Every structure is written in structure tokens, then in C-alpha cells.
A and B are shown apart, each in its own frame.
Chain A
Amino acid sequence: MGPLIPNEIITGDWNFVIAILIGIAFGFLLEASGFSSSRNLAGVFYGYNFVVLRVFFTAVIVAMVGLLYFDYFGWLDLSKIFILPTYLSPMILGSVIMGIGFVMGGFCPGTSFTAIAIGKMDALFFAIGLFIGIFIFGESFPLFKDYYYSGSMGNVTLTDVTGIAAPWFAFGFTVIALAAFWVSAEIEKKVRKNTKEYKF
């Protein structure tokens, strides 16, 4: 059946409608997970709050395992979905910059807008900085354009690169994630006194 637009079940005009619905759902879930609080978000870097790790790891393993079943049931043809092209070293550098910004500002781009939606001032300034950063990046882009596009590996998946079947990754990530859940819960119990407040 899926993906719906390449299979012509619905037309490409629906792209933006679907985008806005997913966006609303995503924003709601970020807020519901407590991601509009920079204390929750940055806690993972200081080792007292691992809600970010748990929420994102849950999303990753549910999506990973779920997609494999969806493909099997014929609901979503995995060979037709878009795979983001990989640029190895620019992506690593980009993640480091993103991580530094995350721990300094206490938000990532998406969560800062969720926090603005509930009226957080720090998020507002974070978002202003975000746009200043985007502007600087855009204006100086020609300077590092070559690096930006270097090391292209194409639209590859881990299976393409390593030759290891997808279920191994799904299972491996699931085990790591589940272990991380339990370990982080233990750490939180030791570090924090008021565990009642953040129910695990």
C-alpha cells in the first residue's frame, strides 16, 4: 500500500496537509514528553535526567522494528522510501556542533518551538539565535560548500554499507536501548532524591 504518494493512492498535493498533521502530532508529543523544559533536555548531559534518551530511543526502536513488520505486511514498501544521503565527515562535525548547541542552549530546534508555544522566554531567545545562526550559515555557505558536500556516500543504509541484515541492527538497537532504559533509571534513582516528581 504505502508509501501513499509514490503509489498514486493520493496525489502529491497532500504533502503539506500531511506535513502539518505530522507536525502537530510531533509538537504535541514533544510537549507531552516534557521536552519543552530545557532542564529536562540538558539533564541527559549532566547525568540527572535521562528522559531525552528514553523518549528518543523508544521512538527509534519502535519505528525500526515497526517498519520491518510494515514492509512484511505490505503496508509500506521500504524499497520506495526516501533515504537521506550520507556525507560522513560533514555529518559528524554537524552533530558535534548540534550537540554543543544543545547542551549550551538547552533546546534542540524542534523543542525550542514547542517551548515557545507554551510561553518560555529562554526558548524565544534560543529561536532568535537559531535564525541568526541560519542567516550566518546561509551567507557564508560558499566558504565551506566544498566540505559540506564532501564524502558523499549516496543514499545508503547500514545494511548497504556493512552487508549485515536489517534485523540485526533492529535487535541490537533494541537491546542497547532497553539496557539504557534500566541503567539510566538506576542512575536517576541514585542521583535524585525526589524521584516521585519524575515518575519513571
Chain B
Amino acid sequence: MNKNYIFLTVLMLLLALGTFFVPKKQLVSHEVKPEKLLLDITQPSRYVTTDQVAKMIIEHDPTLELIDVRPADEYDKFSLPDAVNVPLKDILTPEGQDNLGIEDMNAVFFSNDDIMSDQAWVISTRLGYKNIYVMKGGLNCWIETIINPVEPPETAPKTAFETYQFRKAAGMYFTGGNSIKTDTGVKKAKIKVRRKKKEKAASGGC
């Protein structure tokens, strides 16, 4: 019998034995998920479109609170104007939760796609926070629709052209347009969140 097979047999045995010495990860205890959460997850009502977000930013909607859940280094490279950065992994820390549950504010999570922001949404919903939303499609969709909108075909309905017009204008607003070359950065202003005692939002839920 081939020597290679003896070698491979021993190697595979050693590798399998090695898995015993791989340190264990802490398993998260599975809590019972309330039926309500399940119901809410299936509802698309948590999504806001990039158009809605753009409109609110342009109109300086005071109730809008943009929360970027991507890692800090990505946030430093690019983000939406006036967005605060709460990386997904920090969402459970007290600093992360300071941005949630502020009265009369609508928190909008966004990330590159909407998977991470959806996760942030689920976590904060489980913690009992209200008025939180997810920007559908995330920043990728933002670039596609607001910054580089595609002109609809001539046969498209009138509303499609209206949306396109709005997006073109919004795109100019955010990029500085073609003529006025200001520094594009409506740089992230350091937002001072008023830290306010929340009515035990975080303690309930799970």
C-alpha cells in the first residue's frame, strides 16, 4: 500500500485531534423571541427609501437621526452628512444606545447594504426602542439612486421622471453640482447627543 496514504491518514487523525484544543467561543444563550418581534421583522414598514432620506436631509428635518452602523474606518472615508457612527458591534454599549430612544427622533440605520443595518434594527427593537428605521439598500443604493441616478426610458410614467428630476437635484445638492466646486464634504459635524435618561428601555424586552 502506498506510503502517501499512511501519511495522509496520520495527518488527518492529527488534524481531527487538534480540534479538541481549539478554544471554544462563548455560546450566546438563546432567548425566546417574542412573537411580536417576528411579526415586526416581516413587516417592510421599517424601511425608508434613499429618496426619503435625501429629502429629509435637504429639508433639514430636525427629527432625522442618521446612524451609520459600519466600522469606524469606513465611516471616516465616507458617510452621509451629519450621520453618527455606531458600529454594529458597539450597538449594545451604553455609548451606542445613547443615540437611540431619543424622544421625537426617528433613527435611521444605514450601512453599505441593508443587512448590517437590519441586524442593528433587530437588536435595538428587541431592546425595546421605538421609531427606528432602516435605509433600504444602504449606501450602495444611495450612490446608485441619489448620486448617479439613471434617466428613465421615454416610455416611463411621469412619476419616474419626477423622481429622476428630484434625484438629479438631490445629487447636485450632495456633490456640489458641476459648477460650484466647494469642498464636497458637508463634513460630519460632531453631534453632541443629549444624554438623557431613558425610561428603562434597555432593561425590558429580553
Contacts and interface: CB of A to CB of B under 8 A. Distances in A.
Main secondary structure of the interface of B (DSSP, over half): helix
A69 B2 CA distance: 28
A11 B111 CA distance: 12
A165 B24 CA distance: 9
A170 B21 CA distance: 13
Contacts of A170: 16, 19
Interface of B: 1-2, 5, 9, 12-13, 15-20, 22-25, 28, 111-113, 115-116, 140
Contacts of B2: 200
Contacts of B18: 65, 69
Contact of B12 (A8, A65, A79, A200): A65
Q: Kindly list the 3 A-B residue pairs having the minimum CB-CB distance in the complex, ordered from nearest.
A: A174-B16, A167-B19, A72-B22
Interface string A165-185: 111001100110010011001
A131 to B, nearest CB: 34
A166 B19 CA distance: 9
B25 A71 contact: yes
Given A71-B25, A170-B16, A174-B12, 11 more contacts: A8-B113, A8-B115, A65-B15, A65-B18, A72-B22, A167-B22, A171-B17, A174-B16, A175-B13, A182-B9, A185-B1
A68 interface: yes
A171 B20 contact: yes
Interface string A88-107: 00000000000000000000
A61 B113 contact: no
Interface of A: 5-6, 8, 11-12, 61-62, 65, 68-69, 71-72, 79, 165-167, 170-171, 174-175, 178, 181-182, 185, 200
A117 B143 CA distance: 43
B16 A171 contact: yes
A129 to B, nearest CB: 38
Main secondary structure of the interface of A (DSSP, over half): helix
A174 B13 contact: yes
A68 B12 contact: no
A11 B19 contact: no
Contacts of B13: 174-175, 178
B2 to A, nearest CB: 8
Given A8-B115, A12-B113, A72 B16 contact: no
Nearest to B140: A11
B158 to A, nearest CB: 30
14 contacts: A6-B115, A8-B111, A8-B116, A11-B113, A61-B16, A65-B12, A65-B16, A71-B22, A165-B24, A171-B19, A174-B12, A178-B9, A178-B13, A185-B1
Contacts of B23: 72
A18 B9 CA distance: 32
Nearest to B22: A72
Contacts of B115: 5-6, 8
